[in-house]
Amino acid sequence: MEFLQSYFNLLIVGICVVIGYVWTTLTVEDDKSRRFIPLVMAVIGMILACIDARGVSLEIILSGSVSGLASTGCYEAFKQLILKPKWIEEKSEER
Range of the domain at 45: 2-94
Angstrom CA distances, 28 to 32, 34, 79, stand at: 9, 9, 16
Q: How many Å apart are CA 25 and CA 19, to the nearest integer?
A: 10
Q: Is the pLDDT of residue 90 over 70?
A: no
pTM, two decimals, is 0.77
Number of structural domains the chain divides into:
1
Residue 84, SS3?
Answer: coil
Residue 87, SS3?
Answer: helix
Q: Residue 44 contacts by C-beta under 8 Å, 6 or more apart in sequence?
A: 15, 16, 19, 68
Give the tens place of pLDDT for each residue, 39-64: 999 999 999 999 999 999 999 999 99
H helix runs in 6-57, sequence order = 10-26, 37-53
Higher pLDDT, 14 or 90: 14
